[in-house]
Structure 1
Amino acid sequence: MINDTVLIIEPNFSGHRWRYAEWAANAYMEAGYRCVIVTEPSNASHPLVARLQAEDRAELQIALVAPPERSGRRGLSSISYARFHQDFRHAYDVASRGRGVALVVVPYVDYFFLALPFLGSPFGATPWVGITMRSNFHHDQVGVRAPRRPLVNAAKTQLFMRAIRTRGLKTLLTIDPTLAGWWMDIGHRGLKASATAAAIEYLADPFPDARAAEPELAKARLGLGSGKHVLVYGAINDRKGIFELAAALAARPSSKEAPTLVIAGAQDEEVRASLKAATAKLVPAPVVLDRFISIEAELDLFSACDVVWLGYKGHYGMSGVLVQAYRFGKPVIATADGLIGWFCRTGELGPMVDDLSVASINRALDVVLAGVPHATPGAQHLLERNTLSQFKKTLRQAVI
């Protein structure tokens, strides 16, 4: 049997994880492999699943694999890292039957990464590549603003150093450039990692090449009125800082220049009712698109809106919304925390807020809505690498 298949295993299609799975498949198909995206049956109605099933291409298949059945005695299953390790091992075992698997790709390895020192690879001897999005134990060493947890970070550092020596792991890709930098400058020297450790490479969180639409035409398609629009985009939950933004907008004086809040993305059940109440008295009335956003609508949103909100709370990782705003040349209002703050620290991309008070948010809104000029990021800005072509190239290089 020829090993010509790449399995891309991602049980959760929320957020941008389904896109990572599809983009990874495209990268390896372009390199001549057959690809199978493996996910759970709960995603059967997702647009990507429906499209791939309808296309039924030999070079790109979708496999729906249910998690393994578990007995009443949960044992290791009570630990999330171990439970996900079992799920991925089961998905691999089922999806690999009758196929020659050359490589496994895990678009979100944080599910089980810290279980690797104890449980080993869930894919046996098969080579694999993982993408980490939540490794933040190193942030206090590289100038990223995040909660200080010295004992937790020390323990996670040791687990990380053991995990990257797992059998079969060829490359650990990270959407956090500071992790790759930490590894080169501190990690591999200061902690004396084994020569058998996987490579750690930066994988720029991508946004597909696209041209902005004419703003007025985009507004017309979305049903937006005239004036300024502030966009909150993606999975809508409390961590988006949406309630704080709504409170700040409600506190602004009424005027015909008041900005319109645009909330685009499927809302968590926990926030839907309370968000409706929080925005009920805003003038102008907010525009709310509580649904899965198509690619066409996404392009229109970033073309039509004037400001992109990134005042997230309790979020210390990367944001694809930041990349989208940069690609469309739209200023952001960003938290000073985490990687969002690290990328926005120079002020080139828009004002930052140190806290989510009404006063802080409105000061930032005043600056950006007044069109106060900011330095235009140069061609060497790190976000220039956040393209789909660079993403695919990095994934292919990870297995050379």
Structure 2
Amino acid sequence: MQDFGKENWQRQEPIVLLFDLSIYGHHPAYIQHLIEYWEQQNLSGQLVIVVSPQFMQVHGDVVQFAQGLNSQTIQFYPIHQAEEQALKPRNSALNRNWRNVQEWSLFCRYAKQLKATQGIILYLDTYLLALALGQRSPIPFSGIYFRPTFHYPSFSHYTAFRKDKLQFWREKLILSRVLQQKQFQYLFSLDPFAVQVTKQIFATQKAVALADPIRIKREVKIPAQQLKAKLQIDSKRTVFLLFGALNGRKGIYPLLESLQLLPPETCQKITLILSGQANPQEQNRIENYIQQLKVANPVQIIENYQFLPEEEIFSYFNLADIVLAPYQRHVGMSGILLWAAVAQKPVLSSDYGLMGELVERYQLGITVDSTSPQAIAQGIEQCLQNKPIGDRQKMQTFAEANSAEQFAKTIFQTTMQT
């Protein structure tokens, strides 16, 4: 392992440790955004990135991008294979909690070995309980908190569940203990409403609102008419897009059930594009459902269960008339809202939690109770009424507030000023 410590300590330059052992989802994009900003701004010191060995294989493009910069200040450090193999599987609550403690120990170990002066944990939720129970960091550190819910009662569509009260109490207790830690510096959150409430409840300035990063300038690789022809979409139909992992969490089954509730003359106006990966069992279930649906329903459904290269994703959002986000009681933010906002396309979204609140406050589209097929069907009919949906100017404002540059700028300027 390369030792940055002695040389940089003598020059009093920072060694910033990015720590993220997750592989899929937003994680590789976040790391690349931070690398790009570090290099573009020519920040002083060293940026060391500790990841899983699998990350180096699955996201070789991100690693190659960093290497292609020929920078002497950016370096990936995969943990050892033996360290990864020793981590408990996440197949039970007990194992998950034990694994979280193991991962925290790895953060502390690499912080010491690399002589880091500052730590940034890109998924802090995993370690909150361990920190609340007394785990300590050898260096000052900050992290991104993805899934706060204790402030949800302040949202307009909040419906109380008995178990929520205990969850909210637990979150606030854990957060209060973490915020009191001497080495803990900043709690970043993609939820600006959570930041406001955190500052009020805990009388702290450690909570910082963070952009959920997206690249604002997007090129349409495949023009809409060309993509329509490729997918054989009837030009008279309204195109609804469900993008991302196709599973129950995304609300695909209430969505498909809602189509059965629509009259045939309405279904004739609809093309539904399902674009995203699904595991074999899920895909088989979806395909069987669609096959039965099509027997007596004239809706056009286009299924694409393949991974879509990032350069093609925007073409699908550009093609869509309505972007679907019928998540099932989803906690936190979703990049779907951002892709839609950049493409200036309205969403038909769940009204639950942060997503519902953002859609309504920024007028990004329509919100419905996404657990109800009847409510989704009514939302679809509303989308077909040829009336303007959402506010395009506010969509642009929402997208610009979440630029990739703003995301990285907030993290580095906040943590490196101390």
- Settle same-fold status: TM greater than 0.5: yes
Aligned-partner residue type, residue 78 of structure 2:
L
Q: Does structure 1 retain, via aligned residues, the 8 Å contact 2:276–2:307?
A: yes
Question: 1:342-397 deviations in whole A, cap 9, x for unaligned?
Answer: 11235822221124333321211111133311352545955541111211221122
Return the match for 1:323 from 329, 338, 346. 338
- Count how many residue pairs are aligned between Structure 1 and Structure 2: 386
**Offset from partner CA, 1:140-182 (integer Å, 9 cap, x none):** 2455625442233123211111111223222110001111110
Which AA in structure 1 matches 2:217? A
Specify the code of the residue in structure 2 equivalent to 1:370: Q
Q: Does 1:150 align with 2:165?
A: yes
Q: Separation in 2 of the partners of 1:68 and 1:119?
A: 24
Tell me the residue number matched to 1:40: 52
Please identify, of 138-147 and 16-25, the stretch whose mean Cα deviation from structure 2 is larger.
138-147
List aligned pairs for 1:219-258, cutoff 5 A. Answer: 219=228, 226=235, 227-254=237-264, 257-258=268-269
Q: 5+ residue gaps in structure 1? A: 190-196
Q: In 2, distance between residues paired with 1:163 and 1:270? A: 40
Other structure's SS at 1:267 match: coil
For the residue of structure 2 that corresponds to 1:397, the secondary structure is helix
Does residue 216 of structure 2 align to residue 209 of structure 1? Answer: yes
Query: CA separation in 1, counterparts of 2:177 and 2:312?
Result: 44
Distance 2:277 2:112 in 1: 33
* RMSD value, Cα: 3.0
- Structure 2 gaps of 5+ residues are 1-5
The 10-residue stretch of structure 1 (327-336 or 9-18) with the greater mean CA deviation from structure 2 = 9-18
Where does residue 145 of structure 2 map in the other structure? 132
In structure 2, what is the equivalent of residue 271 of structure 1?
282
1:28 aligns with 2:42: no
- Does residue 1:176 correspond to 2:186, yes or no? no
C-alpha spacing 1:143/1:235, structure 2 compared with 1 (3 Å)? same
User: What TM-score, normalized by structure 1, do the two folds share?
Assistant: 0.85
TM norm structure 2: 0.82
Aligned to 1:192: none
Structure 2 equivalent of residue 78 of structure 1 = 94
Tell me if structure 2 keeps the 8 A contact 1:41–1:64. yes
Shift of residue 291 of structure 1?
A: 3.2
Matched, 1:61 2:81: no
Q: Does 1:117 align with 2:132?
A: yes
Aligned to 1:339: 354
8 Å CA contact 1:120–1:167 kept in 2: the answer is no
Do 2:275 and 2:306's aligned partners in 1 also have CA atoms closer than 8 Å? yes
Contact 1:350 1:368 in 2 (8 A): no
Q: Per-residue deviation at 1:257?
A: 4.1
Does the residue aligned with 1:38 lie in a helix, a strand or coil?
strand
Letter in 1 for 2:19: I
Deviation per residue, 1:90-140 (Å, 9 max, x gap): 25524763x34232221111111122121323xx33222200111112222
Q: Give the structure 2 partner of residue 193 of structure 1.
A: none
1:199 to 194, 202, 206: 206
Cα distance in 2, alignment partners of residues 211 and 182 from structure 1: 34
Rounded to whole Å, the distance in 2 between the matches of 1:71 and 1:362 is 45
* Contact in 2 for aligned 1:82/1:115 (Cα 8 Å): no
Is the Cα–Cα contact under 8 Å of residues 157 and 351 in structure 2 kept in the other structure?
Answer: no
Q: Secondary structure at the match of 2:365?
A: coil
* Structure-2 change in CA distance of 1:60 and 1:222 (3 Å): farther
Match of 2:404 in 1: 388
Match of 1:18 in 2: 28
